[in-house]
Amino acid sequence: MLAVPAFLYLFDFTPLQATTASLAVVAASAGSGAIPRFRLGQVRQRQAVLFWVLGVAGTFAGTRLAPLVPEYALIGGFSLVMVGAAIAMWRKGSPPEPDGSKSSSRWLTLIAATGIGLLTGIFGVGGGFLVVPALVLLFGFPFGVAAGTSLVIVALNSITALVFKADSWHEIPWQLPLIVIVGGLVGSVLSSRANLAISQRLLERAFAGLLVLLATGMVAEAMVMHGR
């Protein structure tokens, strides 16, 4: 969620460049986060691959639509996604653990996977805040398993979208996303070892508030761009 605004306002990327570069950051972050989940047995590989495959068409459609969307609309749409993520994080809580996995409707899974793939392709976000509840509802996964499996799906979706955007790679100064990726991985390791005195819930709500503030600023910018 922060990668796109960072590329827009710190590195002066265009919206299309920012959403493309963000995919590399999201893929690296989700991939590295999935490794310990594998070790804990919190990844359901078959369902992850199924969800990814069913969403490939949506991902492709999103990458084709993104260049056709006006810049102000891309920024405004991304701000709405940020607000959705903020609401999900503010209300976050582990739902009651299901008794076990359940069979899901292939049509519902297809719709959810396609929608999330479309989101990834257009806005360069992983959509984890949507994938986790989707896996809980569709497959009856326990919350921890849904979170671990979602990281694999997010990584696969992001890599797929990045490949579909190969025709725009030459427009990206890749040294900057690489620095962001390395910094993010180092920060993740350091923070995971730190014994923070601040409660996790407070951090989540503070981050949700930050997303809303950023989204508000982006909406204002989109309105200014549209009025030009």
Q: What is the pLDDT of residue 92?
A: 65
Residue type, 60: F
pTM: 0.83
Q: What's the confidence (pLDDT) of residue 80?
A: 87
Distance from C-alpha of 137 to C-alpha of 130, rounded to nearest angstrom: 11
Question: Running along the chain, 228 residues long, what does each successive block of 10 average in pLDDT?
Answer: 86 92 93 90 93 94 92 87 84 54 71 91 84 86 89 95 94 93 83 63 81 87 74
Name the packing angle between helices 45-65 and 128-139 (round to 10°): 140
- pLDDT, position 72: 86
pLDDT at site 143:
83
Tokens describing residue 85:
């993520």
Per the structure block, which two tokens stand in for 43?
């990844």
User: What pLDDT, on a 0 to 100 scale, did the predictor assign at position 103?
Assistant: 53
pLDDT reported for residue 197:
63
Q: Which two tokens stand for residue 224?
A: 């200014």
Q: Quick one: three-class SS letters along the chain?
A: CCHHHHHHHCCCCCHHHHHHHHHHHHHHHHHHHHHHHHHCCCCCHHHHHHHHHHHHHHHHHHHHHHHHCCHHHHHHHHHHHHHHHHHHHHCCCCCCCCCCCCCCCHHHHHHHHHHHHHHHHHHCCCCHHHHHHHHHHHHCCCHHHHHHHHHHHHHHHHHHHHHHCHHHHHHCCCHHHHHHHHHHHHHHHHHHHCCCCCCHHHHHHHHHHHHHHHHHHHHHHHHHHHHC
Domain parsing of the chain, residue ranges: 17-168+198-227
Tell me the C-alpha distance between 122 and 16, whole Å: 9
Q: Which amino acid, residue 17?
A: Q
